């Protein structure tokens, strides 16, 4: 039964070219285009930039010819895939997926022959896959960017994937994915409660911006950044702590004791509670007027 809902949602999403463009292709394409423009600008002004860099020519030469470590670049990019700049584009697809049945009044076509929790879980499963595809495309755009950078500046490409780096890559990528999924779940709750596509899109964005600024607001009221409340209300800080732990080294060692447990609990609560809330609300919802 759940598999029916997943197959149907997947089929429908696969045919929505607009959703594919805006939530998967647009951000990587724009990001790549802006990077290439930046590179072209730098190449065109290379001599002037080197003059103003105030570095010994030998050092400049070494720097300019140093290989681009793609493995390192990938691991770093993997940790930034949940950025507030990328999020709105992924949310376009996710919000459409969650709110479209209200918008098109299609619940009445599908709700009678499956359970309501299955219908929402099917949407969540497809949204999770959509988020994965979106951030993977973004990652690929980073790889292409490295190739172009190598070609434009005549720098060799290197790929030194040590065991530690591979681990860091997957940990950062997974955490970024979980964070995007988390905002998707908030979009689901907003869609179910308000029945509105715009609310499903903007409410998670407002929460993302609020979480971005909340650490700066907790300090002045005397709350330590690793306090239970600070971590529970701000999963953004929790993700940062987890990513830092995944990176290893001095920064990871300096993390306060018990912070990672708090961070995982915060991440779990911010993912599960909105999902359970949406399912509970949807189970009792009047679908006569979608």
Partner 1 sequence: MNAVIETRGLTKTYGTVHALAGLDLTIPKGGVYGVLGPNGAGKSTLFRILLGLIRPTSGTASVMGGAVGNIASMRRMGSMIETPRYPPYLTARQALKWLALSHGMSGDVDIARWLDRVGLTEAADRRVRGFSVGMLQRLGVAAALLNEPELIILDEPTSGMDPPGIQDMRALIRSLADDDGVTVVLASHQLLEVQRICDRVAIMNKGKLVREGSVSELTSVGARLSLSVTPIAKALDVLGGKGRHEGAHVLVDTPRAEGPAVIRALVESGVDIDEARWVGADLESIFFTETGAVQTPEAI
Positions touching partner 1 (CB under 8 A) are 1, 4-5, 7-8, 11-12, 15-18, 100, 104-115, 284, 286-288
User: Shortest distance, CB of residue 99 to partner 1, whole angstroms?
Assistant: 12
User: Shortest distance, CB of residue 113 to partner 1, whole angstroms?
Assistant: 5
Say how far apart CA 187 and CA 202 lie, in whole Å: 8
Say how far apart CA 183 and CA 208 lie, in whole Å: 8
Angle at 44 between CA 43 and CA 50, to 5 degrees: 65
Pairing of strands 68-69, 157-158: parallel
User: Shortest distance, CB of residue 124 to partner 1, whole angstroms?
Assistant: 16
User: Shortest distance, CB of residue 11 to partner 1, whole angstroms?
Assistant: 5
User: Shortest distance, CB of residue 128 to partner 1, whole angstroms?
Assistant: 19
**By C-beta, is 80 or 103 nearer to partner 1?**
103
**By C-beta, is 65 or 108 nearer to partner 1?**
108
* Residues 81 and 137 sit within 8 Å (Cβ to Cβ): no
User: Shortest distance, CB of residue 204 to partner 1, whole angstroms?
Assistant: 22
**Helix (H), strand (E) counts: the chain:** 15, 2
Angle at 169 between CA 19 and CA 154, to 5 degrees: 85
User: Shortest distance, CB of residue 20 to partner 1, whole angstroms?
Assistant: 11
Nearest to 239 by CA among 181, 186, 184: 181
**What Å distances lie between residue 186 and 3, 22, 70, 274, 277, CA to CA?**
23, 19, 34, 6, 10
**By C-beta, is 14 or 29 nearer to partner 1?**
14
* Residues 69 and 159 sit within 8 Å (Cβ to Cβ): yes
Say how far apart CA 146 and CA 144 lie, in whole Å: 5
**By C-beta, is 104 or 229 nearer to partner 1?**
104
Encode 119-157: b = buried (16+ Cβ within 10 Å), e = exposed. bbbbbbbbbbebbeebbebbbebbeebbeebbeeeebee
**By C-beta, is 5 or 186 nearer to partner 1?**
5
**By C-beta, is 20 or 137 nearer to partner 1?**
20
**By C-beta, is 214 or 285 nearer to partner 1?**
285
């Amino acid at each position: 039964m759940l598999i029916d809902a997943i197959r149907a949602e997947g089929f429908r999403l696969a045919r929505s070219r607009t959703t594919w463009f805006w939530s998967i292709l647009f951000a990587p394409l724009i990001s790549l285009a802006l990077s290439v423009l930046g590179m072209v600008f730098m190449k065109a002004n290379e001599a002037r930039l080197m003059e103003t860099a105030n570095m010994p020519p030998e050092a400049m030469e070494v720097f300019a010819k140093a290989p681009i470590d793609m493995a390192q670049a990938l691991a770093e990019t993997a940790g930034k895939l949940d950025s507030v700049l990328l999020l709105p584009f992924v949310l376009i697809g996710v919000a459409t997926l969650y709110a479209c049945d209200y918008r098109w009044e299609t619940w009445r076509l599908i709700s009678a022959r499956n359970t309501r929790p299955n219908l929402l879980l099917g949407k969540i499963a497809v949204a999770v896959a959509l988020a994965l595809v979106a951030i993977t495309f973004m990652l690929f755009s980073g790889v292409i960017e490295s190739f172009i950078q190598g070609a434009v500046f005549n720098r060799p490409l290197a790929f030194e994937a040590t065991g530690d780096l591979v681990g860091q890559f997957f940990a950062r990528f997974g955490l970024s994915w979980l964070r995007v999924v988390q905002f998707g779940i908030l979009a689901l709750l907003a869609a179910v409660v308000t029945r509105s596509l715009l609310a499903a899109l903007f409410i998670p964005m407002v929460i993302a911006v609020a979480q971005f600024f909340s650490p700066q607001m907790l300090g002045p009221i005397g709350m330590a950044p690793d306090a239970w409340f600070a971590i529970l209300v701000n999963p953004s800080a929790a993700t940062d702590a987890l990513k830092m732990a995944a990176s290893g080294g001095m920064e990871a060692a300096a993390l306060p004791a018990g912070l990672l447990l708090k961070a995982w609990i915060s991440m779990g609560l911010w993912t599960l509670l909105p999902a359970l809330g949406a399912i509970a609300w949807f189970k009792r919802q009047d679908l006569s007027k979608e």
